[in-house]
Structure formats: structure tokens, C-alpha cells
Structure 1
Amino acid sequence: MRAITYQGTGKVQVDNVDDPTIEEPGDIVLKVTSTAICGSDLHLYDGFIPEMRKGDVLGHEFMGEIVAVGSGVTKFKQGDRVLVPFNIACGQCDFCRMDAFSLCDTTNPDHEKVEPLYGQSPGGMFGYSHLFGGYAGGQAEYVRVPHADVGLVAVPESLPDEKVLFLTDIFPTGYQAVEQVGTGPGDMVAVWGAGPVGQFAIRSAFLLGAERVFALDFEEGRLDLARQAGAETINLSKEDSYERLLDLTGGKLPNRCIDAVGLEAHGASVIGNIYDKAKTAMMLETDRPNALRDAIMCCRKGGAVSIPGVYAGFVDKFPIGAAFGKGLTMRGGQTHTRAYMDRLLKRIEAGEIDPSTIISHRGTLEDGPEFYRNFRDNRSEFTKCVMTP
């Protein structure tokens, strides 16, 4: 089969690789009908996530049709059209029973590689290095999906792929980001990063009743998309985040701040543009926390900061004094995707949101290498790339 494979930092290509097969009774094999490039795939592409190997199949946002079913699968059959959450969860451990699916205790066979870094290992993930299980991803014609009865969600025939594909990751990620800090009526929400996750955080904040939402980014094209969702925007290449938010909120500042950027954040300050890049280049820190620093400094006293943006290791110049002094709540973590998919699917069916509005480019797997380059280097125009194998 054809698949997009990792070839080293800044290089992916489309290769012929072995077709997947049923390996365990709970497996299915999926014929992929739609797959997308996620912002967190760029962390692999840019070499920030260790334990990537040449030839690894990429991709964790995908859906399709079941073509083979393991003997232990009871809820699905050949021919079913399904969504696949990016986390791989067993459904039986203590964390899965609490719907904390990204923390699954059993699905990461590489847990010993992560534990020295994190203390404990999260669960496995599709297409996301040999730190998280080495599972082949879904930017491919076919993919093996373990624990099918736990993760899969059936898709109503009335909904096309483009309306539901992002339930596999970025829609639940944006939703969890605002829900986990208690966003509700009357709240002022500021979202750093108007990329795909930021776009869904903006839309989810409104779904949960937020009074006002502010989007902060350097890219005017992404800010245009945020304005279409009702957000008030701040172009960080022209405006200071703190002063502008102070002005827009009448001196209050937002009480819910979302870092939807993560470890490759750019900054408008000398610290952001020079200090962090130099430190990461010399491996004196692994991540660039510019958006996180800004979110903490701009958050109202007694407020909350949510971190859906991916961080991998260690950061420098972290404003812990501000977080402590203002009494901020902080929440982060990989999304417990399966916990949100059913309820968000109902919102799509009801017409409350159309996730396909963030798609900027469509193509096939053969377009994948060019999409990766442009998604990284031309962010204003390339918001979300979807491929049909």
C-alpha cells in the first residue's frame, strides 16, 4: 500500500509499505477514506519528538471503512464506516474506566522510554514515534486499529467525511481545552494560536457560552478565520498582547487563557525570537514556551490557563511566580478523545457547528510532502490539509 513515511527532520515521502494485518483478536483493518495533517505532526517533521525512525508511517487523524475484523470484535463489522480516535486505549484499566483514555496504562509498549522523562507513561498513539508505541499511522491507504470496540465511533451515512473527520483529534482537543478549565457563560476567553486546534477552541468556547473570545496569532489568514467564528483578534506582529487585552477588557484581562500553540511557539519579543531559539538549538531547553508565558502573564487573577498545545520536555524562564501570585489554575494533557466524540457528533448532526470550514487544501497522499512543507512554512494560507488516499 501507499503511505506517507518519515525520512528524517524536514523530510517525508510517499512509499510502498506492507499492508497491515490483524494481529490481535480486538483489531480491525481500516481502509482509510480521509486523513489529515495535524499541527502536532509538524513537531515530528521538525525533529522535536525523539524516537522517530526512518520509514515510520505518519498520521493520527483518519477515518474510513472496515475491511477486516478480528475474532474478538463484537461491536463492528466489515463495511462499517467509522472514526478512529488518535489515542489507543484498552478500555479496562483504571484510567480508561474514568474516561481518561489518553492516560491508558496498557497500550504503550514503549512506556519505559517515557517514564524517565514524565515519571509515568501516557497511552499509545497512532503515528507518533516509538516513545508512544511505534504504531503505524493513518496517512496511508490502510491501517491496523487495536482495541476497536473501545475506540471506534460509527458515522451516520448522512454526514460526509469532511464534517466528522476532525472528531478524531482537533475538535475534541479544542473542546477539552476550554471545558477542562470550566469555561461557561460570562467568561472572557483568550486563545493563543489560531491554527486548527485554536479554531476549535474558539468555536467550543462559544458553544459553552463564553461571553467574548479573543484570538491571538501572527498570521492574518488564520485571524480572518477566527473572526468568521465571532472572535475578536489581535495580530501579534503589530500589537502587544497584554496591552491590547487590557484595553479590550476594560482592564480586567481574560479569565480563561488557552495555549493552543505548544512547543514551537514564536514570540514577538527578544526572548521569543532569539533566546528560546538559541536555547533549543543548543538543547539547553527542548521546547519554546512563548505562548504559555504570555498566557500566564495575560490571565486575570483567579483565572485558569489551559494547555492543549503539545509540550515534549523542558522549558526555561517559566513565570511560576506569576502563576502562583495570581492564584491561577493550570490544566493540560493529551485529549481524552473518545470521551468527547459522541457528544460532539450530536452537535455536528444538529447543525451547531460545521468543522469542515477550517479546511484550506484538499488532495491525495501524493500531495502529502508538499502539504507538510506548506503547512509549516505558509501558515497564513495553509490552515488544514485533508487527503483522500
Structure 2
Amino acid sequence: MRAMVYRGPYRIRVEDKEMPPIEHPNDAIVRVTRAAICGSDLHLYHGMMPDTRVGTTFGHEFVGVVEEVGSSVRNLSPGDRVMVPFNIFCGTCYFCARGLYSNCHNVNPNATAVGGIYGYSHTCGGYDGGQAEYVRVPFADVGPSVIPDWLDDEDAVLMTDALATGYFGAQLGDIVEGDTVAVFGAGPVGLYAAKSAWLMGAGRVLVIDHLEYRLEKARTFAQAETLNFSEYDDIVVQLKKITGHLGADVCIDAVGAEADGNLLQHVTAAKLKLQGGSPIALNWAIDSVRKGGTVSVMGAYGPMFSAVKFGDALNKGLTLRMNQTPVKRQWPRLLEHIRNGYLKPSELVTHRIPLEHIADGYHIFSAKLDGCIKPLIVPSAA
């Protein structure tokens, strides 16, 4: 098959790769029809995620058609059109039984916190991802769901991470009617979080970024007020000014450890394997939320030793809520919202890139060229 292959920071190729085999009776092989590049993939692309090994195939957002199933698979059949959550989980451990699918205890021998994630380094289990023509899906009776006939592939693929994560970020904010919600980051997850905040009763939604084309999308897609942080000496002070000098009720960090990073971060991440960026957006969220407010963290962070303002969070009496999204838990409500017309996930898609040109796609997305917000990957086998 053809697959995206990692050859080092900023170096990815499309190469011939062995077809993934059935390794366990509960595996399925899925022919990918749509995949996506996620903002968190840029941490891998930039060499800022520890133990990202040469030869790995990225991609944790994908949908496709079941080609083959293992002997114990009962819920899927060849020919089924499926969406696959980015979490790999067993469905039976202590954490899965409580709906914490992203914290599954049985799928990642390399970590005690996060479970397995497709195409996201060996710190997340070492599974190959879906930026390829075919992908092996473990625990096929547990993770994937058959896509409803009425749902388009391009809406379904965004439910496998970006939409579910944005919705979960708003959910973790414990938004109550009339709350002011500030979202840091106008990438896809931030835009979905802003849109979802309205569905949960927010009275005011603010989105903070520095790229004007993304802020324009926040205004048109999420009907949010926007702030370009590059236009202010101190974005925290500005946020306080426009919220009655109290701060927002809820702040959502949809940036994470900056996907760019500075020189020091690149050295300590790529060379010393110490961190995955810096927590500037998280510290802004801690400073910008009102006392007694809630900070929801949805951005991707690697193992890191950067200074988070935990003392400020303590002294302000903040509630900090965070996790990798348990994607499948969000699907029933999201399907309702999509079917009722409240959400149209594919409105954020700006680029559709053939798998053979995925290196160009990473460059466009990473460098924020051509108004790129969300790029989809179209395998030739689709």
C-alpha cells in the first residue's frame, strides 16, 4: 500500500509499505477513504514529541470501509463504512468501564496516563495511523462505529477527533447559562469548542488568536467575538477590561504546547526529549479566567517541564479540567446536533489533498498558508 512515512523532523514521504495484517482475532483492516492532518500532528512533524520513530505512519483522524475482520469480530463486517475514534481502547478495563476510553489501561505499555492513539509516536503505543491507504484497527468490536447512511464521510472524519475534542472542551468547562467563555486558539478544535459553547448555554463567546483569517472563521462559523492578541500589549489585561474587570467564567485552552515552539524548545524536545513545547496559552487562560472559574485544557501537551502558573490557579480557586477526549462518548449527542442542523463539521475543511502530496499538505498547514484551517487527505484507494 501507499502510506505517509516519517523520516525525521520536517521530513515526511509517501512510500510503499507492507499491508497491515490481522494480528489479533479482534482486529479489522480498514481501507481509508478520508483522513485528516490535525494540529497535534504538527508536534510530530516538528520533532517535538518524544519517541517518534522513523518509519512511523501518522494520522489519528480517519474513516473508511472495512476490508477484513478477525475471527472474533462480531459488530463489523466487510463493506461497512466506519468512523474510528483516535483512541484505541479495550472496552473492559477499570477506566473503559467508566467511559474514560482515552485512559485505557491495556493498550499502551509505554505510559501510565494516556491510552493508545493511532499514529502518535511510541509514547502513545506505537500504532501506525490512517494517513495511508489501509490501517489496522485493534479492538474492532469496541472502537469503530458504522457511519449512518445520512452522514457524509467528510463530516464523519471530523468526528473522530477535532469536533469531538472541541465539544468535550466546552463540556469540561461546566458552562452554565449566560457564562462568558474565552477560547484560546482558532484552529479547528478551538472553533468547534466556541461553536459548542453556544449549544451549552453560553451568553458570550470570545476567541483569541493572531491569524486574521482564522479569526474571520471564528466570527462566521462560531458567531464569536474575536481578539487578535498581537494587537494588544497584554491580552490578559484586554480580556479583563471587556469582562467587567473580573475575567471570563470559563477559559478553554485549545492551543496546547505551541506547535511551532522556539529554539530552546526544539533543542530540549528533539534532542533532550524533555518537553513538547511551552504553556503560554494555558498560562493566559489561568490569568484570564475569573476567580473561582474553570479552565478546560484541550490542547495537546507532551511530557514537559515548562512553568505552569499552578500557584496562581490555586490562589484564584480555579477548577482545572483536562483529558484526552473519550471520543466515542461524544458521538450520540454530536450525531443529534448534526442531524438537527446545529453543526456542519465539514464547513471548516479548506483543503483536500491527495495522499501522494501529503508533504505539501503538512507544509501548507504548518506554515498557515493559503488560508488553511483543516486539510483532509484523500488516499488513492478511496
TM above 0.5, one fold?
A: yes
Corresponding residue for residue 117 of structure 1 = none
Q: Which whole-Å deviations, capped at 9, do the CAs of 1:4-56 have from their partners, x for residues lacking one?
A: 11110011111110111211111111010100000010000011111111111
Report the TM-score when normalising by structure 1: 0.92
Task: Tell me what 2:245 maps to.
Answer: 251
Deviation at 1:278, TM superposition (A): 5.0
Structure 2 equivalent of residue 325 of structure 1: 315
The secondary structure found in structure 2 opposite 1:381 is: coil
Task: Identify the residue that residue 201 of structure 2 maps to in structure 1.
Answer: 209
Residue 42 of structure 2 contacts residue 259 of structure 2 at CA under 8 Å; is this kept in 1? no
Q: Deviations over 1:330-352 (max 9, x none)?
A: 01121111111222122111211
Letter of the structure 1 residue corresponding to residue 126 of structure 2: G
Aligned to 2:98: 98
Could you say if the C-alpha distance between residues 379 and 302 of structure 1 is closer, same or farther in structure 2, counting changes exceeding 3 Å?
farther
Supply the distance in 1 between the matched residues of 2:316 and 2:259 (Cα, whole angstroms). Answer: 24
Are positions 1:37 and 2:27 aligned together? no
Q: Which residue of 2 aligns with 1:46?
A: 46
Question: Does residue 1:280 correspond to 2:265, yes or no?
Answer: yes
The alpha-carbon deviation at position 106 of structure 1 amounts to 0.3
CA contact (8 A) 1:214 1:233 kept: yes
Counterparts of 1:177-192 in structure 2 under 5 Å?
177-192=169-184
Q: Deviations over 1:218-253 (max 9, x none)?
A: 100110110011110000111232232123222231
**Cα distance in 2 for residues equivalent to 1:209 and 1:265:** 31
Identity %: 45
Cross-structure match for 1:261? 255
- Structure 1 counterpart of 2:265, one-letter code: T
- 1:306 is aligned, of 296, 315, 334, to 296
Match of 1:174? 166
- The answer to whether the 8 A contact 1:184-1:210 is kept is yes
Superposed, 1:212-231 pairs within 5 Å as: 212-228=204-220, 229-231=222-224
- 1:165 Cα deviation (Å)? 1.2
In structure 2, what is the Cα distance between the partners aligned to 1:371 and 1:57?
15
How far apart are residue 74 of structure 1 and its match?
0.8
Aligned equivalent of 2:119: 127
Choose which of 151, 156, 167 in structure 1 pairs with 2:148. 156
Tell me the residue number matched to 2:18: 18
Q: Which residue of 2 aligns with 1:335?
A: 325
Q: CA deviation at 1:282?
A: 4.6
Is the 1:265–1:288 Cα contact (8 Å) retained in structure 2?
Answer: no
The question of whether the paired residues in 1 share the 8 Å contact of 2:48 and 2:266 is answered with no
Whether the 8 Å CA contact 2:250–2:289 is kept in 1: the answer is: yes
Describe the shift of the 1:9–1:278 C-alpha distance in structure 2 as closer, same or farther (beyond 3 A). closer
Mapped contact 1:222–1:380 kept (Cα < 8 A):
no
Cα distance in 1 for residues equivalent to 2:116 and 2:25: 18
Moved over 4 A (4+): none
Distance 1:334 1:380, change over 3 A: farther
- Are 2:207 and 2:227, in contact at CA under 8 Å, matched by a contact in 1? yes
What is the alpha-carbon distance in structure 1 between the residues aligned to residue 215 and residue 286 of structure 2? 21
Is the contact between residue 265 and residue 290 of structure 1 (CA under 8 Å) also seen in structure 2? no
Query: 1:319 Cα shift?
Result: 1.6
Which residue of structure 2 lines up, in the alignment, with residue 271 of structure 1?
none
Q: Contact conserved, 2:349 with 2:373, CA < 8 A, in 1?
A: yes
Name the SS for the 1:331 alignment partner: strand
* Residue 350 (structure 1) aligned to one of 340, 345, 355: 340
CA distances 1:194-233 after superposition (whole Å, capped 9, x unpaired):
0011011111111111111100001001101100111100
Q: Alpha-carbon deviations, 1:148-203, whole Å to 9, x = none?
A: 11111111122211122111011111111111131131111101100011011111
Is the 1:90–1:150 Cα contact (8 Å) retained in structure 2?
A: yes
Paired residue type of 1:292: L
Q: Look up the match of 2:185.
A: 193
Q: TM-score, normalised by structure 2?
A: 0.94
Aligned partner (choices 377, 381, 388) of residue 367 of structure 2: 377
The CA distance in 2 between the partners of 1:340 and 1:190, in whole Å, is 22
1:3 and 2:14 are equivalent in the alignment: no
C-alpha displacement of 1:280: 1.9
Match of 1:316 among 295, 301, 306: 306
The whole-number CA distance in structure 2 between the counterparts of 1:176 and 1:69 is 31
In structure 2, the residue matched to 1:233 is 226
Unmatched 5+ stretches in structure 1: 115-119, 267-275
